[in-house]
A = this chain, B = another copy of it.
Amino acid sequence: MPRMSVASPITPQPPAPGTAGVVAALASRFGARLSTATADREAHGHGEGLRDVFAPHAVVWPETTAEVAEIVALCAAALAPVIPFGTGTSLEGHLQALAGGISIDLSRMDRVLAINAADLDCRVEAGVTREALNHAIRDQGLFFPLDPGANASLGGMAATRASGTNAVRYGTMRDVTLGLTVVTAQGKIIHTGGRARKSAAGYDLTRLYIGSEGTLGIITEIQLRLFGIPEQISAATVQFPALEHAVEAVMAVMQCAIPVARIELLDTLQMQACIAWSRLEGFVPAPTLFIEFHGSPAGVAEQISTVRDLFDGFGGSQFRFAETTEARSRLWEARHQAYHAARGLAPGKDSYSTDACVPISRLAECIAGCRAEAEALRLTAPIVGHVGDGNFHMLVLFDPEDADERARAEQLVASVSERAIAMGGTCTGEHGIGLHKLDALVLEHGEPAIAIMQAIKAALDPDGIMNPGKTVPSGRIPL
């Protein structure tokens, strides 16, 4: 697999000739809701992670699905690129406007349209963030569990097939989304799925748009499953002498079907960072699990008892349990601060975040291999993992002024993908493909499957205006 140059993953394309006309038309139609200010364009020309900026020509803030459709229809007529924007927290270069075009910022589409407590579902506009949704539903005893870390928009979470810490129990956006409203590349409005819990009616367009990263259409509304706030929430941490022991303990938990709500792994380096950053007392720099339990009081007590017995068998020590909200918050503080703690290992450096997901039986071996490679490449790269799913993240620190160190960081990230794929896993469990993992996607699925993805892209977006250059390699492979 050829190494990608992350600094300039593909050459920026010349903008479509009609783009200037589109900007003028949008300015006339949307007034102050259209901006060509440099600050707005730059802010919309990158996400989190690597900060290589490719600015769009303009940013527009629609307030309804009909307005999004109107904008896309204008862009389609002029062949101008369209890049949807939620909160700007994606990690794999999803937002870079490689050929300029129009960034459609959905943050003003922030209405919770319906909450159905009886059916445990709701309908939201794409710009509603997960925290805003939880705020809106809390007084009805409901919560939306998915937590990717950032306070992302639900439209962005759907578009990138996000998940996070609670996925081991509650699933990913793929699982909790019942239906979508989508603006197509032709500027038409379609509705997928519905409010039924399950359906066998036709092709699963909902799942096709989830994870399509704005390359097939723009998600403007989402019908989501909700959950009752658990009667009892408890948390625990436990430390292990070695990574394999921690992973084996998690495998035992999964095989016993203990419905843990979160089960997070921090490796030795990450714990060292967290102990320093959060001034943790009583922890040693060793592989550590953070666990959360949801259920009835008796159910949670039984889960804790079973988990503790299992962990004892794998050398777990320094158990800490917390049942009150305050104690739980203290316990999870280190996990929540993991990113800042990791950055604190090398102040002034940039970070390159990557993730991968493997069958859990291969997880310890995969992480150990990645760790050894980081050391061989002389890189600081702590690891945290949603370990119940076999998903882990590596944060590779590098000096942006040191071209050699950046190249080594890119090499390490590529090798994490390759290692995971070789173990039957995937190059990304939840961050997506964006710009940076196009080569890994081909390696993972093989050219005949990529040809199918390309055929779908060409069928739904024949002019290639929807977030061009992302998610699917552009060099067409015949079916």
Contacts and interface: CB of A to CB of B under 8 A. Distances in A.
Contacts of A459: 455-456, 458-459
Contacts of A204: 161, 174, 204, 207-208, 210-211
- Between A201, A230, A427, the greatest number of chain B beta carbons within 10 A of the residue's beta carbon is seen for A201
Interface stretch (A39-47, A182-190, A341-349): A182-190
A121 interface: yes
Interface string A202-246: 111101101110001000000000011010000000000000000
A37 interface: no
Contact of A174 (B207, B441, B453, B457): B207
A479 interface: yes
A189 B448 contact: yes
Q: In which size bucket is the chain A interface? A: 35 or more
Contact of A201 (B119, B358, B444): B444
Contact of A203 (B175, B203, B456): B456
A359 B119 contact: yes
Contacts of A162: 200
Given A255-B228, A458-B459, A198 B167 contact: yes
Contacts of A460: 452, 455-456, 479
B119 A200 contact: no
Interface string A256-291: 110100000000000000000000000000000000
A202 B421 CA distance: 14
A172 interface: yes
Contact of A441 (B116, B201, B427, B445): B201
Contacts of A118: 251, 255, 359-361
A31 interface: no
B203 A472 contact: yes
Contact of A429 (B116, B198, B455): B198
A101 interface: no
Nearest 9 CB-CB pairs, A to B? A459-B459, A207-B207, A199-B426, A195-B424, A196-B357, A118-B361, A190-B449, A119-B359, A196-B426
Given A118-B359, A194-B424, A228-B256, 9 more contacts: A163-B198, A188-B451, A197-B359, A198-B430, A201-B433, A201-B444, A203-B212, A205-B445, A456-B459
